Structure 1
Amino acid sequence: MNAISSWSIRNPVPTIVLFLSLGIAGVYGFMQLRTNNMPDIDLPTVTVTVAQPGAAPSEMEVQVARVIENTVATLEGVDDVSTSISEGSSVAAIEFTLGTDPETATNDVRNAVSGVQSSLPAAAQTPVVAKVNATGNSVLTFVVEAPTMSPDALSWYIDNDVAKVLLGVDGVSKITRSGGVDRVIRVELDPDRLAALGISAGDVSQTLASNNVNQPGGRANIGGQEQSVRTLASATTVEVLADTRIALSGAGDVKLSDLGTVVDSWEKPRQAAYLDGRRVVAFNVYRSVGSSEIDVVKAARAAIADMGAKTTAAKFTEVTSSSGFVQESYDAAFEALWLGAVLAIGVVWLFLRDIRATLVSAVAMPLSLIPTFAVMAAFDISLNNITLLALSLVVGILVDDAIVEIENIVRHMRQTGISAYQAAIEAADEIGLAVVATTATIVAVFLPVAFMPGVPGKFFFSFAVAVCVSVLFSLLVARMLTPLMGAYLVRAGGHDEDDTPAWVPTYLWLLRKALDHRWITLLAGIAFFAGSMMLATHLPTEFMAAADRGRSMISVELQPGSTIEQTTAVVQDITRRLEKEPAVESVFATIGTAASSGGGPSQS
């Protein structure tokens, strides 16, 4: 490591080309980095959704949920199984241990569920097995207002048109709707008419189910070409469905409309959304793992703005977004980064008191940070609060090695009177081992963080990479570029030995006193350390510090059996109270569904 400094001084062109290449690679890597709030953690989670219309939650628990849970619980790598049950629906979430391949986990769950599908009720639909590809919270929430649309038409507009557009945006994983209704064709039968004709509601239901089916009809030669044939029997309109002939138990048949009324309506709402007290329909945008939160939100906003410009029937209003907080954190971190760099340069000049030597030392910061971005891009690490904290933490450390190098060069020049070129060769070789040992110590402290187990290890892997890589690049700069620049840029002379800062005599006086009273100094240091450790035990601990995003979340849960109308009354009362607070700008509430958006509304 000593010879590399003298080689760099004697061969400046390869050294300059090397750092230019590293700089270009770092700039390109920075342009590829994603911007997120926290590092992406791909927790291998698979969901199994089973629907059985009309089944009570107790039936779903016994006949469906327990069967699925008992089957998947025995799979290798399963860490936790939880099931959410509602009327006619069961959703099991299977979490695997960290490090499990998500595709392998999905295939294992699919195979296990297929083996017990015959044990599920005959009325249950085919289980849907899916890998969870979205991050925890939605990144964007919009409200859609369309006075000219019916509730079912507006809901279908969001589920079909809006979802198609947004799912085509790179990085968007799913769209969920809050509020609205689901369209349903309701057949309201007349009991007296059924009794008079000797037919039951079950007979009508069975006839409709068997008749409204599109089936393959084989193949036929048409015009010299073979074409597939399908039999289309499903009703295309309500009128056609009402004209369906229902066979009687004796002889003859009767129209469905003669047995009751066929209504194009919607199911009873099981969820609702309110913005400032008025009922609305909202949708939430989720990003996929591995995407940039800022980029996804920008692209989704542009797509929604384009949709809004093409229609006058619907008005889109943004309720909440996580990108604002992420952008603010990003800007604040970079502001702290360059402020720290400026202060570090000022401190270096204060001690060296030589503008050329200060600039040579200052070059170590950007030339250590910029190549780090290339390594982060290679590891697919995003710019987030953790990595930016790491870079802000080491910004002052990056100049340490360069300061030691340049200070030794300047000292050789002043004490021996030799040229900067010769002083750089001698000084760099003289302290090479010390500089390497200093950097190795820092790496030895932070490198084990990358191997922490569990979720914290996933978070702090990027922290360790950012710190260790930037510090190693600072060592490369100190051993190659700093001696080179010192040899060709630093001039003999600099500040005079008598040009001593005013605080130095005071410091020297305190130093002499400390050395004259060694035992007192040692005991004071031990007492200070012990007191610090005692105070540390009283500090609160938490995984992540709470952040003020300008939002508050209130979760309201009523007793089991409460209707959606009762829940709505409670939520509306809370909304009215909150709107009276001067600091409250708007209140968005969802009932019967979760619509969290980075600290936004949750289930009510």
Structure 2
Amino acid sequence: MFSISDFFIRRPVFATVCSTVVALLGVVCILILPISQYPEIAPPTVSVISNYVGANAEVVESTVTNILERELNGIEGLRYIASTSGNDGTSNIVLTFNLGRNKDIAAVDVQNRVATVTSRLPGVVQQTGVRVNKSSSGFIFAIGVYAEDGPDGQPRYDDLYLSNYADLYIVDVLRRIQGVSNVEIFGNRQYAMRIWLDPGRLAARGLVAQDVINALREQNVQVGVGQIGQQPAATDQLYQLSIAASGRLTTEAEFGAIVLRAEEGDLVRLRDVGRVELGAENYASVLRFNGRRSIGLGVSQLPDANALEVARAVKRALANLAPDFPPGIRYDIAFDTTTFIEEGAREVVLSLLIAVVLVVIILYVFLQDWRSTLIPALVIPIALVGTFLFVRLLNFNINTLTLFGLTLASGLVVDDAIVIVEDIARRIREERIPPLQAAIDAMNQLVGAVIATSLVLIAVFVPVAFFPGIVGQLYRQFALTISFAVTISTFNAITFTPTLSALLLRSDQVLPDAGFFRWVNRT
């Protein structure tokens, strides 16, 4: 009777190379696989954010949010829509899609739908733009940026300065780091020219707030005013000069000098009906870090990024930027979720190593021969490491559940090897036949049973991967990790294990029969 194992047993180099390639591919995949604490189980979400300056919640709801919602409803894979309209003029629509929907494709579909109704939105909203963002599952890293106290006991910089400095010199650097999805500023303060109007002065001069807005639009513009001497020109024109006009206002005095009305030599300027000051665009949020007014930076990662590598890269970037900070500006880590990932992974890996060591010890206790024990001991790491090849092919990541699955699989992947090694060793010892022939005879009888046993184990775990909803999403990686580990162990059992047995086992081996091993054998 011929079995597939005969081909590998008679070609030990080829069998060894096959198992080595599987192990090496697994090692390569370990190095490039993303690492996270848990699998991605949250449904993909896309947010649509817009701002209608000066409008209250009711106006925003009727002129912006409702229009966008009606157009976005019915997108492929959409689960539900949630929206909020605020009195500060903001409209935020969150679209939640079904599990398994590609977040990038969903964002493109949303962007296309938004583009079709942009012309129906108010002009102010069109000017500020409608942003479509892929929502992240959470921040992996948070940083607090604060100012130390000066000689007077007050912070040397206010939160407006801190926010502007972080936006210009820190955020862009962090966003360029590979694996970073977004960096969000909390307690954000953007510099803006704030204009405070006096209703009494406006009424006395026959003006309203809209007159001020119109004057700002007309007199605070940056335009191209052309060139002097541009062709076609006279033959004696020797130079061509570009003209730069300073149309964009930058100081409080320049804004205060804006003319609101000019009639019969009477100029009404902005400073006559109000005051102008440089301040923050929005004071709606305040952030405190360790009791200090500060700003926060939240770092989120890309779905396929390695959280540990991203966190290390962010820390290195901050360490490189810190020497160039203005005197008195400091940063500190507010929270770092990768600490839990590292500790969790370390504990699971330690449990995995302990499980493997215990399996090897138990094998030696019952096989009572170092050669017979060495064969399953070599098969275990090949099966476990090679499993990461399938983890990579299925776009999984290294997380607590995949490592937990490998820990449980460490006892399953050795079953077939134990049966095969023990049967080959028995044939060599009792029937007195050469190891090569013993391996061939044993596999002729066992290959069907080995495959059947593995199929039964796989049939137990694979259905778990098809559970619907979040439960199936959570345990899919766990179940398939065990299934692929068993699959690789079966491949090793019919190729590598009998090959090693034919090479390592000897006919003159003597089992110990004293002390502890005598008690084990009698028991």
Matched residue SS, 2:407: helix
Relative to the length of structure 1, the TM-score reads 0.77
Is the partner of 1:315 in helix, strand or coil?
Answer: strand
How many residues get paired?
505
Cα offset for 1:216? 4.8
In structure 1, distance between residues paired with 2:504 and 2:483: 29
- Which residue number corresponds to residue 528 of structure 1? none
Which among 127, 130, 141 is matched to residue 128 of structure 1? 130
The letter of the residue matching 2:53 is: P
Taking the aligned partners of 1:2 and 1:80, their CA distance within structure 2 comes to 59
Aligned to 1:152: 160
Write out per-residue CA displacement over residues 498-525 of structure 1, whole angstroms, 9 at most, x where no aligned residue: 886535655xxxxxxxxxxxxxxxxxxx
Q: Residues 52 and 125 of structure 1 are in contact (CA less than 8 Å); yes or no, is this contact kept in structure 2? A: no
Q: CA deviation at 1:2?
A: 5.5
8 Å CA contact retained: 1:49, 1:92: yes
Q: Superposed, which structure 2 residues align to 1:227-376 within 5 Å?
A: 233-248=247-262, 251-267=265-281, 269-311=283-325, 312-376=327-391
Q: What TM-score do the two structures reach when normalised by structure 2? A: 0.88
Q: Which residue does the alignment assign to 1:454?
A: 469
Contact 1:42-1:289 at 8 Å conserved across structures: no
Deviation at 1:227, TM superposition (A): 10
1:495 matched to 2:511: yes
Asked if the contact 1:102–1:131 (Cα under 8 Å) also holds between the matched residues in 2, the reply is no
3-state SS in 1 of match to 2:495? helix
Distance 1:223 1:327 in 2: 68
* Equivalent position to 2:208, from 200, 208, 227: 200
Measured after TM superposition, the shift of residue 335 of structure 1 is 0.5
What is the CA distance between 1:436 and its match in structure 2?
1.0
**Structure 1 residues 72 and 196: alpha-carbon distance in aligned structure 2, compared to 1, 3 A threshold:** closer
Cα 1:228–1:11, aligned 2, differ >3 Å: closer, same or farther?
A: farther
Tell me the equivalent position of 1:565.
Answer: none
1:374-423 Cα offsets, whole Å, 9 max, x none, are 23223332111111011111001111110000000111122212222222
With over 3 angstroms needed to count, the CA separation of the structure-2 counterparts of 1:228 and 1:137, relative to structure 1, is farther
Return the letter of the residue paired with 2:286.
A
- Contact 2:143–2:298 (CA under 8 A) maintained in structure 1: yes
Match in the other structure for 1:515: none
Given the superposition, is the C-alpha separation of residues 247 and 148 from structure 1 closer, same or farther in structure 2, using an over 3 Å criterion?
A: same
User: 1:165 Cα shift?
Assistant: 0.8
Contact 1:246 1:253 in 2 (8 A): yes
Q: Give the partner amino acid of 1:425.
A: I
Look up the SS of the partner of 2:413 in the other structure: helix
SS in 2 for 1:124: helix
1:592 — aligned with what?
none
Deviation at 1:372, TM superposition (A): 1.8
Percent pairwise identity: 30
Residue in structure 2 matched with residue 170 of structure 1 by the alignment = 178
Aligned-partner residue type, residue 210 of structure 2: G
> Cα distance, 1:84 vs. partner?
2.6
In the TM superposition, 1:172-191 aligns within 5 A as 172-191=180-199
Aligned counterparts, 1:438-587, within 5 A: 438-492=453-507, 493-495=509-511, 501-502=518-519, 505=522
- 2:235 aligns to what? none
Alpha-carbon contact 2:224-2:245 (below 8 Å) kept:
yes
Contact in 1 for aligned 2:50/2:131 (Cα 8 Å): no
Contact 2:402–2:477 at 8 Å: present in 1 too? yes
Q: Which moved more, 1:304-313 or 1:100-109?
A: 100-109
What's the C-alpha RMSD, in Å, of the aligned pairs?
2.8
Are 1:137 and 2:135 matched, yes or no?
A: no
- Checking the alignment, whether the CA contact within 8 Å between 1:48 and 1:130 is kept in structure 2 is yes
Per-residue deviation at 1:463?
A: 2.3
Specify whether residues 305 and 42 from structure 1 end up closer, same or farther in structure 2 by C-alpha distance, changes over 3 A only.
same
Measure, in 2, the Cα distance between the counterparts of 1:439 and 1:199. 86
> 2:63 is matched with which residue?
63
Gapped regions of structure 2 (runs ≥ 5): 148-154, 233-238
Find the aligned partners of 2:476 and 2:407 in 1 and give their Cα distance. Answer: 16
SS in 1 for 2:293: strand
Q: Does 1:387 align with 2:437?
A: no
CA shift digits 1:86-127 (9 cap, x unpaired): 221011011222343444433433333334345444543455
Alignment partners' CA distance in 2, 1:197 and 1:85: 35
Compared with structure 1, are the counterparts of its residues 480 and 192 closer, same or farther at alpha carbon in structure 2 (3 Å cutoff)?
Answer: closer
Query: Would you say the 8 A contact 1:46–1:94 is kept in 2?
Result: yes
Mapped contact 1:60–1:90 kept (Cα < 8 A): yes
Distance 1:143 1:6 in 2: 65
Aligned partner letter, 1:502: W
How do residues 92-103 of structure 1 correspond to structure 2 at under 5 angstroms? 92-103=93-104
The one-letter amino acid paired with 1:3 is: S
Matched with 1:417 is 432
Q: Structure 1 unaligned runs (5+)?
A: 507-604
Q: 1:7 to 1:118 in 2, by over 3 A?
A: closer
- Distance verdict in 2 for CA 1:299–1:203, change over 3 Å: same
